[in-house]
Amino acid sequence: MRENPLNTRRHFLSTTTAALSTSLVCLPCLARQTPASTKTEPTKSDVPTAWVNATLLPVDKPPIKSGAIVVQGGKIIAVGESQSVTIPGDATVVDAKGKWIMPGLICTHSHIGGMGAADGSSPIQPGVRILDSINVRDSGFRRALSGGLTTLNIMPGSGHLISGQTVYCKLRYYESSPRVVDEILIRDKDGLATGGLKMANGTNSQGESPFPGTRGKSAYLVREQYIKAREYQAKIVAAKEDATKLPPRDLHMESLVEAMQGKRIVHHHTHRHDDIMTVIRLSQEFGFQTVLHHVSEGWKVAKEIAEAKMPCSIIVLDSPGGKLEAKDMTFSNGRVLDEAGVKVAFHTDDWITDSRLFMRSAALAVRAGMNRDKAIAGLTLAGAEMLGLGDRIGSLTVGKDADFAILNGDPLSVYSRVLETWVEGKKAFDLSKPEDQLYAEGGLQAGSDLDPFLCCFAPAWQGGAK
């Protein structure tokens, strides 16, 4: 594959450039601004912090009644029974008796920050990136943190067959709020932004021409494009890195080729049982790796989904309906899929459901009989795996990012509250702070863009520019 446009946007370069360009128009900000690079590169000399005597939900192992977790340098360096974990001598030790600690929640399907990828010009726009439209000042990010979320797959909408590239983000809203989207990206080992490809079928992606009017046309249009992408890919292979023989760059084709190569997971909106089977059929024809999203009627074809080894990221809504294809939605979906052997994660679809209540989705699945541990995994590790990030996040495991939530009780109880959310070893939400409480509880200004947006223009009575 040729160079991805993001290849040149290495993290350090982009964040430093962003900070510099901001400072040019906003000199007073500079002194108080934390260099963005420290956000993603915690220094190895960090003092370790240990939480002891907590109820731990490691997710990849059974719950621990009295456990300890030690973090350093943004990573988890030890986890286990309190008495069996060696706490480093220089560690800051926090007695977390009565608290529950679980991995930071992972939402595999969120729209916080906007949905501005594909436009109305065409139903298939795989080259368009949500990355270029995200408003990092959206207060939804802070609200999500108050619900214990640490990672989001931010997706374009479902009004297209292919609405563009999604982006995996880490809620690095600690110390100071991010100023540019680059600061919240999750990058791969080459420094590239990670993300998937959003697709949809059923009624949302139908419309007036050039959009399809039927399900048959929808599938046809998608197949046509993937066949084109195969031919595009063949030309690149045939060129054998001879630049003169390469076809002209085509962003749409590049994106579809990445999907077929497994470099870009397809996140596919689908509701009705027959639409689900269509997704499976197309995935198998073109070999893209797919996560089924919403999957309202998944319970009707659970066996088939399991046989196709296709994970499901499901939504839990308080009632069925709103459109014909969601009429048979049920709290039992998670249980039925899990029992059939399907990997199940939950998602908020924020603002369809509120990220602050994400744990409630798993709780309602448990209400309908889903295994408790599987439901907790559905908020964490299963989601991480569906984003291809299972080796980095999603469980309290040594070596993984120190992303976790501290609660005052069982995450599946309505009465439990997230007290703190930690991202890469840094506290990004603290319920005891009034400024964080605002986002947890709501109230005047809770829905407004975050404060830094006004950094350069704040009136004198607010203390001038920050």
Partner 1 sequence: MIFPRSKVALAILGLALSCNIVMAEPPLVVQAKRVLTAAGQTIENGTVVCVDDKITAIGKTGEVAVPDGATILKCEVLMPGLVDVRTCAGLSGILNVKQDSDQLEHSSPLQPELRAIDAYNPREELVDYIRSFGVTTIHTGHAPGELMSGQTLIAKTIGNTIEEALMVDGRAIAATLAEASSKSGKASPGTRGKQMAMLRALFIEAQEFQTKQIAKSNPKPAESSGKDNKEKEKEREPIARNLRLESLAAILAGKKALLITADRAQDIASAIRLAEEFKIRIWLDSAAESHLMIPQIKAAGVSVLLHPSMARASGEKENQSFQSASKLHAAGIPFAIQGGFEAYVPKVRVVLFEAAIAAAHGLNYDAAIESITISPARILGIQDRVGSLKVGKDADLALYDGDPLEYTTHCVGVVIDGKVVSSLVR
Instruction: Determine, following the binding rule CB under 8 A, whether residue 102 of this chain makes contact with partner 1.
Output: no
Instruction: Determine, following the binding rule CB under 8 A, whether residue 432 of this chain makes contact with partner 1.
Output: no
Instruction: Determine, following the binding rule CB under 8 A, whether residue 143 of this chain makes contact with partner 1.
Output: yes
- Among residues 257, 255, 237, 256, which one has the least CA distance to residue 247? 237
- Among residues 444, 362, 388, 462, which one has the least CA distance to residue 147? 362
First to last CA, the chain: 44
Instruction: Determine, following the binding rule CB under 8 A, whether residue 441 of this chain makes contact with partner 1.
Output: yes
Instruction: Determine, following the binding rule CB under 8 A, whether residue 210 of this chain makes contact with partner 1.
Output: no
Q: Which amino acid makes up residue 346?
A: F
Residue 66 or residue 408: which is nearer to partner 1 going by CB?
408
| Residues between 446 and 465 with contacts to partner 1, criterion CB under 8 A | 446-448
The answer to whether 169 touches 186, Cβ cutoff 8 Å, is: yes
Q: How far is the CB of 333 from partner 1 (least distance, A)?
A: 14
Stretch that binds partner 1, among 7-15, 168-176, 261-269, 435-443 (CB under 8 A): 435-443
Residue 145 or residue 266: which is nearer to partner 1 going by CB?
145
- Among residues 398, 400, 394, which one has the least CA distance to residue 381? 394
Size of the site for partner 1 (CB under 8 A): 34
Binding mask 402-421 for partner 1 (x = CB under 8 A): ----------xxxx-x----
- Quote the crossing angle between the two packed helices 251-260 and 215-239, to the nearest 10°: 90
Q: How far is the CB of 112 from partner 1 (least distance, A)?
A: 11
For residue 294, give every residue at least 6 positions away whose Cβ sits within 8 Å of its Cβ, in sequence order, or none: 109, 269, 270, 271, 313, 314, 315, 326, 349
How open is the CA angle 103-105-108, to the nearest 5 degrees?
135
Residue 216 or residue 320: which is nearer to partner 1 going by CB?
320
Q: How far is the CB of 140 from partner 1 (least distance, A)?
A: 9
Q: How far is the CB of 351 from partner 1 (least distance, A)?
A: 5
Instruction: Determine, following the binding rule CB under 8 A, whether residue 435 of this chain makes contact with partner 1.
Output: no
The answer to whether 162 touches 230, Cβ cutoff 8 Å, is: no
Instruction: Determine, following the binding rule CB under 8 A, whether residue 444 of this chain makes contact with partner 1.
Output: yes
Instruction: Determine, following the binding rule CB under 8 A, whether residue 324 of this chain makes contact with partner 1.
Output: yes
Instruction: Determine, following the binding rule CB under 8 A, whether residue 219 of this chain makes contact with partner 1.
Output: no
Q: How far is the CB of 356 from partner 1 (least distance, A)?
A: 8
Q: Two tokens at 368?
A: 């309908």
Instruction: Determine, following the binding rule CB under 8 A, whether residue 97 of this chain makes contact with partner 1.
Output: no
Full 3-state SS string of 132-200: HHCCCCCCHHHHHHHCCEEEEEECCCCCCCEEEECEEEECCCCCCCCCCHHHHECECCCCCECCCEEEE
Instruction: Determine, following the binding rule CB under 8 A, whether residue 62 of this chain makes contact with partner 1.
Output: no
Q: How far is the CB of 368 from partner 1 (least distance, A)?
A: 9
Residue 280 or residue 336: which is nearer to partner 1 going by CB?
336
Instruction: Determine, following the binding rule CB under 8 A, whether residue 445 of this chain makes contact with partner 1.
Output: yes
- Select from 90, 242, 318, 435 the one that contacts partner 1 (CB under 8 A): 318
Residue 95 or residue 373: which is nearer to partner 1 going by CB?
373
Q: Which amino acid makes up residue 361?
A: S
Q: How far is the CB of 209 from partner 1 (least distance, A)?
A: 22
Q: What is the largest CA-CA distance in the chain?
A: 68
Residue 163 or residue 296: which is nearer to partner 1 going by CB?
296
The answer to whether 198 touches 261, Cβ cutoff 8 Å, is: no
Full 3-state SS string of 197-246: EEEECCCCCCCCCCCCCCHHHHHHHHHHHHHHHHHHHHHHHHHCCCHHHC
Residue 40 β-bridge partners: none
The answer to whether 161 touches 205, Cβ cutoff 8 Å, is: yes
Instruction: Determine, following the binding rule CB under 8 A, whether residue 272 of this chain makes contact with partner 1.
Output: no
Q: How far is the CB of 100 from partner 1 (least distance, A)?
A: 15
Binding mask 332-371 for partner 1 (x = CB under 8 A): -------------------xxxx--x--x--xx-xx----
Residues found near partner 1 in the complex (CB under 8 A): 143, 317-324, 326-327, 351-354, 357, 360, 363-364, 366-367, 412-415, 417, 441-448
